[in-house]
């Protein structure tokens, strides 16, 4: 164990072996830090936080801070961090809003500079949040999802496994697994092919996901019919994850950017067109007069 003399470590904290704690860091009572963790300078680990083994926390990070909520409980819950995570400079992660609740971060995640994880979020294994990503309360992020710089996710939204969210996206609905969301439009633009290949998906699995994607976004079906098709056609393989994800959503789902075949384009009625032309002509005459 290596604790810098300028660090403040509560005697009521549990510190494992081979832990390094840098200068001016603060470890509050009720904290558990498992073996092999390394904390840089000015790190604050608040009460109710548990760090698994081999986590690396960089300068200025604050783990287990109180929830940002107007109706915060007098006894907020916990923050539990898995093993092997990299938490970079000035990251903030808040504990649960509820006494029996828990904010959780899985294993081998990377939270880059200035990213924020609010109360009661759940991050799956191997998740990456790049610089300045913001997660509202109760957000769920699936394993191996990738959120690009400055993306913001509204509270209670979900981002599915192996989804890729583009920079500066404003996610206000659930992002299905395996897809790519464009940062400019915050709309689905296809499968996350690069992420899927890096995750070891084979040609057959990619082909199946492509077929399921077409059922979801290109089939032109009503909602219940789409769910039934997914359930019947993709009972096995990675595409089987789509149906339960869609069935359990509560906030709606991010749509595809392209207009699906057969979509109805609303045309302006003739009388509405004449009225618009008359208003425009009046404005032109008024400016000319």
Which CATH number belongs to the domain containing residue 157 in this structure?
A: 2.160.10.10
Q: Quick one: pLDDT at residue 1?
A: 84
137: nearest Cα among 167, 196, 95 = 95
Mean pLDDT, the chain cut into blocks of 10 residues (289 residues total)? 96 98 98 98 98 98 96 92 98 97 98 98 98 98 98 98 98 98 97 97 96 95 96 97 96 85 45 52 57
157 domain-assigned: yes
The catalytically annotated residue of 22, 137, 183, 195 is 137
For residue 239, is it within any domain?
no
- What pLDDT does 73 receive? 84
Catalytic option among 42, 94, 116, 119: 119
Question: Known catalytic residue: 119?
Answer: yes
User: Is there a domain that residue 223 lies in?
Assistant: no
Catalytic residue among 107, 120, 126, 174: 120
Distance CA 179, CA 184 (A): 15
Task: Return the pLDDT at 196.
Answer: 98
Residue bearing tokens 């079906």: 221
Supply the pTM of this predicted model: 0.88
Task: Tell me whether residue 181 is in a domain.
Answer: yes
Tell me if 230 is assigned to some domain.
no
185 domain residue, yes or no: yes
Alpha helices for the chain (secondary structure H): 193-198, 203-217, 223-233, 242-247, 270-288
Q: How many CA atoms lie within 13 A of 163 on its CB side?
A: 29
The answer as to whether 27 is a domain residue is yes
Could you tell me if residue 251 is inside a domain? no
Number of domains in the chain: 1
- Is 182 considered catalytic here? no
pLDDT of residue 268: 38
Domain range holding 121? 2-198
Q: Is 137 a known active-site residue?
A: yes
């Amino acid at each position: 164990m290596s604790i810098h003399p300028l660090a403040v470590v509560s005697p009521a904290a549990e510190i494992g072996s081979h832990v390094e704690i840098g200068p001016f860091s603060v470890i509050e009572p009720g904290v558990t830090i498992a073996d092999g963790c390394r904390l840089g300078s000015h790190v604050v680990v608040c009460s109710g936080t548990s760090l698994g083994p081999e986590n690396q926390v960089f300068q200025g990070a604050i783990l287990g801070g109180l929830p940002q909520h107007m109706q915060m409980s007098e006894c907020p819950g916990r923050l539990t961090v898995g093993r092997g995570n990299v938490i970079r400079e000035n990251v903030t992660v808040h504990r649960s809003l509820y006494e029996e609740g828990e904010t959780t971060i899985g294993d081998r995640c990377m939270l880059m500079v200035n990213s924020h994880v609010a109360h009661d979020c759940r991050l799956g294994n191997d998740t990456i949040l790049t610089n300045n990503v913001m997660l509202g309360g109760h957000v769920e992020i699936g394993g191996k999802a990738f959120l690009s710089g400055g993306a913001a996710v509204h509270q209670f939204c979900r981002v599915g496994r192996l989804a890729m969210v583009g920079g500066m996206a404003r996610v206000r609905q659930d992002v299905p697994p395996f897809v790519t969301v464009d940062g400019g439009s915050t709309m689905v633009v296809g499968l996350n092919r690069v992420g899927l290949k890096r995750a070891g998906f084979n040609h057959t699995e990619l082909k199946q996901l492509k077929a399921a994607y077409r059922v979801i976004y290109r089939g032109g079906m009503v909602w219940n019919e789409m769910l039934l098709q997914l359930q019947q056609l993709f009972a096995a393989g990675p595409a089987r994850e789509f149906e339960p994800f869609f069935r359990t959503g509560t906030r709606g789902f991010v749509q595809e950017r392209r207009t699906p075949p057969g979509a109805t384009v609303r045309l302006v009625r003739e009388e509405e067109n004449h009225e618009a032309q008359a208003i425009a002509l009046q404005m032109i005459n008024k400016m000319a007069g």
